[in-house]
Structure 1
Amino acid sequence: MIRIDDRLYDEAYFSARSAELAAEIGLGAQDTGRYAVCFSETVDWLALFFAIRKAGASVLPIHPGTPYPAARKLAIGAGCDRLFYNSLTAEVLEPSDLLSAEGTLLQMSSGTTGAPKCVARNWTEIDAEIESYVATFREPEDMTPVVACPTTHSYGLICGILVALKRGQTPVIVNTANPKYLLKVLREIERPLLYSSPAILHTLARLTPAGEQIHATMTSGTLLPDPWFADIRAKSRFMFQQYGCSESGCIAINPDVTSAGDMGFVLPHLIAATGNTAEDAGEIVVSNGDGAPIHTRDLGYRRADGMLVFVSRLDDMINVSGLNVYPKDVEDAVMAMPAVTDAVAFRKADRFAGERVALLFSAEAPVAPQAVREWCSRHLASHQLPMEILQIDAVPRQANGKISRRDVAARHLAGEFNKPIAGAAS
């Protein structure tokens, strides 16, 4: 069974509806189609997903808020032969050389380190991930998963829904982004486990009254800024964290998060190689023992107890006159400043130092850049200090809560953020 907002759909409903949809769109018993699906209604999307998966075909889930031209571009980029855009009448696309006889879950990578690319994982790999996840991560067995993140993303679809169904649980899908409604849903469930984005979790933590806690929270997708982590940890009775990438799925899970950088213990179906201490941190490289190694482009290390610790994105690191600056160190320092609500540090070319740190931040009220600079000078080393500081309305984050520093740097270079906040000095 699956609950979507306030309505419960049982297994019989999905079986019947999936069979109807399979017949209506002509899914065969061993279908080799490559289908892109963008539906506004979650129940319709899931019913079609189950039908496509049962037929052994391939599916590209597209976020329901995606405009048609963008959805079509994604479908073509993923080599799909048909696009279902809020209709069971498919748009037939140009044939692609990406077609294969093996059914896969298709995903477009987030594009945080370059242009988004299509990642295909076959259903056997997905099943192995689910088996490993369920067998290893036992803490939520008596909890009800509440999925308040896109079900078109592997975090919500695999870890939130398919894992719950494997455990025999009834996942609760919440489609609205209204945090007050989400709090209401959480209060109605005896032991909820909330799967959501860091930004939503932080908002809920700030809205939750003093003395009240959310039973359990799961965070994923991006490293939490230390001030956000402290707020969420304080308002969560149990706090979990998982780490992964599009190519491999979930890599590690932390069953008791005490530090934002502690990603978790590597799932047993995978092998992860990296540094052994903070001093010799290296790229996290993942393998399932069969295919080619997956280079995550994440810098980290493995503690003696097996905990995988995240340090930084390799592509985000800023080299100032030969000295490495990790953006999170700068962001954490700035976000500890009163009134500052969010921040992103990124590289900017400099003719003397090669690269320098630039900073965008948001705050509850106008804050002079000089005040931020003075604050940073008391909390950061000289090479870490931002040379350019701009206050903006909101730091640009993707739907999954991630920040693409590459995108921010490009938009900054194009002058997009140069308009000053009313009342703020520039």
Structure 2
Amino acid sequence: MIRFDDRRLDAGELFSLASQMRTEGRLGADLARAHALRLADPAEMIAAFLLIRAEGGSVMPLHASTPEPAARRVALAAGCESLTFGRGPATTLEPKTRRPAGDHSLIQTSSGTTGEAKIIARSFADIETEIASYTDFFAAARDLTPVVACPVSHSYGLICGLLAGLVRGAEPLVIAPDNPKYVLAKLTEIERPVLYAAPALLHVAARFLKPGETIHAAMTSGTVLPAPWFETIRARTGLLFQQYGCSEAGVVALNQDLRETQAMGRPLPHLKVEAGTPEKPAPILVETASGTVDTQDLGHFAPDGTLNFDARLDDTIIVSGLNVYPREVEDVALTMPGVADAVVFGLDDHLAGGRVVLLFDGAKSVEETELAAWCGERLAAHQRPREIRRVSEIPRGPTGKISRREVRARVLSENL
């Protein structure tokens, strides 16, 4: 049983909902193939996901704010053969490279070293292993009810909040994360809730609590909490957890009593994790059944075996717990007539954790407001640049590559 706001649906009702979508032509013809889903209704998203998984197909859930051109672009890149977008009929796709027959995976995106999104497919068998390890290891959550106030299109909400909760025998509650006061009200309806949410929502919700009120339990993930946020959340939360992972390996480590923001916790038992020492951090490498994953992060193990995060090695921008890949934003900006060159990077943001900044070089007729509108129509909400600046030239190295870290440093020093 899963609750979607005030609507309870059991397995049979979810499959009936998905079957209705199929009858209406809203799902691809052959569910044993790969399908992208961009649905605003989380009940429809989960119903379609479960049906396609049961039929032996692969699923690529997309964030509900993703515009249709962006959804189509990433679905084609992933080898999907259909796109379900909103309440319209499914669109048949013709990818250059189709996923192999018998592929049975959850398809997501992750960042490469250049900031360009890359396609990650994890088999459902691997995900079942992760969930079994996660639920067995996460002893503190065994009698808690997950309240998933984050997108179920993302593995954090889908796997850790919803699917793991079902395996524990809980009745997960899926709610929209837009209104912190609504989230807090829903928490009061459950005896022992654990809130799965982005750090920004946890921070705002903690500040909205009245004197004497607390959040029973909460999970944070996606980015290291800024110290002031951590202090606020920690003071108003009974049990505070943190998990660390990546798209290729799933959850890597789990902290069941968060006391220091950089402490990611102990590695899950089904994984072997390598990192550095407090004196000499090193790349965090994760050995899975499918091979070794380089997380592109620097970290170290404390003497007690806790994995600590030190820094990111890639250029991914984290906005409210969601990944933004600079190359995707740049590609959209460069399609606007008059824009000659562009670079995207992230700056810290006290509300969302990070904000997207776009520098561009182009014709004088291109106004920043026009470019903002252009991007707004073609990018998901978390991908849209919050700051756009015109520059005389985008700095590039001898080989034509852009160092985003250098650009960011020059902007912060006002030397660009």
What's the offset of the Cα at 1:26? 6.4
For 2:239 and 2:125, the matched residues in 1 are separated by: 31
In structure 1, the partner of 2:149 is: 148
**How far 1:56 sits from its partner (Å)?**
1.2
TM-aligned CA deviation for residue 303 of structure 1 = 1.9
Shift of 1:85: 0.7
**Corresponding position of 1:80:** 80
Q: 8 Å contact 1:194–1:216 — kept in the other structure?
A: yes
Q: Which residue of 1 aligns with 2:312?
A: 313
Query: Is contact 1:146-1:172 (8 Å) kept?
Result: yes
Do 1:214 and 1:236's aligned partners in 2 also have CA atoms closer than 8 Å? yes
Give the conservation status (yes or no) of the 8 Å contact 2:2–2:9.
Answer: yes
Q: Secondary structure at the match of 2:73?
A: helix
Cα distance in 1 for partners of 2:230, 2:66 equals: 30
Quick check: 1:112–1:407 contact (8 Å CA) kept in 2?
A: no
1:84-233 mapped onto 2 (5 Å cutoff): 84-87=84-87, 89-100=89-100, 101-109=102-110, 114-233=115-234
Q: How does 1:269-308 map to 2 (within 5 A)?
A: 269-275=270-276, 277-288=277-288, 290-308=289-307
Cα 1:36–1:26 shift into 2, 3 Å: closer
Which runs of 5 or more structure 2 residues have no equivalent in the other structure?
A: 316-345, 352-379, 387-402
- Counterpart Cα distance in 2 of 1:398 and 1:303: 38
Question: Counterparts of 1:416 and 1:91 in 2: how far apart (Å)?
Answer: 44
| One-letter code aligned to 1:74 | V
Q: Offset of 1:236 from its aligned partner?
A: 0.5
Structure 2 counterpart of 1:266, one-letter code: P
| 1:255 Cα offset (Å) | 0.6
Equivalent residue runs for 1:31-46 within 5 Å: 32-46=32-46
Does structure 2 conserve the Cα–Cα contact (< 8 Å) formed by 1:27 and 1:52? no
- How far the C-alpha of 1:113 sits from its partner, in A, is 5.8
Query: The residue matched to 1:117 in structure 2 has which SS?
Result: strand
C-alpha change, 1:11 and 1:303, in structure 2 (3 Å) is: same
Residue 235 and residue 111 in structure 1: after superposition, are their counterparts in 2 closer, same or farther (change >3 A)? farther
Q: Which amino acid aligns with 1:255?
A: Q
Structure 1 residue 262, shift from structure 2 partner: 0.5
Query: Could you say if the C-alpha distance between residues 193 and 113 of structure 1 is closer, same or farther in structure 2, counting changes exceeding 3 Å?
Result: farther
Structure-2 separation of matches of 1:203 and 1:72: 34
Q: Does 1:48 align with 2:48?
A: yes
Q: Write out per-residue CA displacement over residues 280-312 of structure 1, whole angstroms, 9 at most, x where no aligned residue.
A: 211000011x32210001111112221101111
Query: Which residue of the partner structure matches residue 239 of structure 2?
Result: 238
Which segments of 5 or more consecutive residues in structure 1 lack a partner in the other structure?
317-357, 364-396, 419-426
Q: Distance in 2 between matches of 1:106 and 1:138?
A: 29
**Identity rate of aligned residues, in percent?**
43
TM-score w.r.t. length of structure 1: 0.73
TM-score scaled by length of structure 2: 0.74
> What amino acid maps onto 1:81 in structure 2?
E
Residues 36 and 62 in structure 1, CA contact (< 8 A), matched pair in contact too: yes
Structure 1 CA distance, aligned partners of 2:347 and 2:39? 38
**Residue of structure 2 equivalent to 1:354:** none
| Counterpart Cα distance in 1 of 2:80 and 2:28 | 16
Give the counterpart letter for 1:135 in structure 2: D
Contact 1:38 1:62 in 2 (8 A): yes
Distance in 1, Cα, partners of 2:74 & 2:149? 24
Partner of 1:382: none
Alpha-carbon shift at residue 87 of structure 1 (Å): 3.5
Distance 1:238 1:362 in 2: 24
8 Å Cα contact 1:109-1:118 kept in structure 2: yes
Closer/same/farther in 2, CA of residues 257 and 143 from structure 1, 3 Å limit? same
Indicate conservation of the 8 Å contact 1:22/1:51, yes or no.
Answer: no
The aligned amino acid for 2:68 is: Y
In the alignment, the residues of structure 2 paired with residue 198 and residue 188 of structure 1 have an alpha-carbon distance, to the nearest angstrom, of 22
Shift of 1:190: 1.2
Report 1:60-79 matches (<5 A): 60-79=60-79
Correspondence 1:5-20 to 2 at 5 A: 5-20=5-20
Please state how far the C-alpha of 1:77 moved relative to its aligned partner: 1.7
Greater Rg over alpha carbons, structure: 1
For residue 142 of structure 1, give the secondary structure of its aligned residue in structure 2: coil
* Distance in 2 between residues matched to 1:273 and 1:242, nearest whole Å: 17
